[in-house]
Amino acid sequence: MLIAYHNGQFLPLAETRISVLDRGFLFAEAVYEVTAVIDGRLIDSASHLARLERSAAAIGLSLPLSTGQIEAAQKELAARNGLQEGLIYLQLTRGADSGRDFLPSPGLEPTLVMFTQAKRFLDSPAVQSGIAVVTTPDLRWARRDIKSVGLLAQAMAKQIAAEASAQEAWMVEDGFVTEGASSTAFLVTDEGIITRAYSQAVLAGCTGSAITALAEESGLTVVHRPFTVAEAVGAREAFITSASTLCQSVVRIDGRIIGNGSPGPIATRLRELYIDFARRTAV
């Protein structure tokens, strides 16, 4: 029986009840985070909580608990569910109102929910095989730096990927790749490791930031700039980063093989470095 967290209570997931008047449900007026768990401990927790604070502040939403209290609740939630490897999903909404109106009533109590999901990602078969990516127009709103639960465009992109037997979609705007539907996009070329600079056009990835720092510490060149689909197809390697995939090689883009069609040495090494970092710094 899975245990969830809801506004200070730990209770069976099946018994969790959220009002239909919650503004997260009615307006997607909510932000979220996904934190990886390895060996029963939280990975890169401080980065995820800092991003949660930024996202909440961007929509004028105060955290109902301190980040330390949220982290403690996440640890307890993982322990109650016996989670050794997987994810903790957190969602914070403006709260439930007395009716449906675009303007919220003053003094609403935020809704904070969390639940766990067991997921095998350390030795996933995709680590050895690599994944396929398809490209699709980026249909999202302009404030992509806010980790909003308004994920309709990303869900549509994921469906396009699934219909093409791919595991991720890279969204394209003005001829350039912005990011994956649920990941940060990277290339490896003679120029170095290429990834887009963080701005309002993309989400600042916690895993991507950590891997970028690890790459630079290892003496690798990281170039922050946009890249085209044509550049991606011609790259030596491509990979994605996210809390749920860590660092995952991309071996096909729109059906075209990248490099030799197998996970490349740079992405493979960065994955190893990240897992070592994750285990050393887990809480």
8 Å CB contact between 134 and 158: no
User: Percentage helix, strand, coil, to 5, in the chain?
Assistant: 30, 30, 40
Tokens representing residue 244 in the block = 């749920």
Between CA 250 and CA 199 the distance in angstroms is 24
Triad 107, 33, 180: Cα angle to 5°: 130
**Which element (helix H / strand E) includes 223?**
strand 222-224
Q: Are 206 and 36 in contact (CB under 8 A)?
A: no
Task: Give which of 164, 129, 90 is closest to 248, Cα–Cα.
Answer: 129
Q: Which residues are part of the catalytic machinery? A: 147
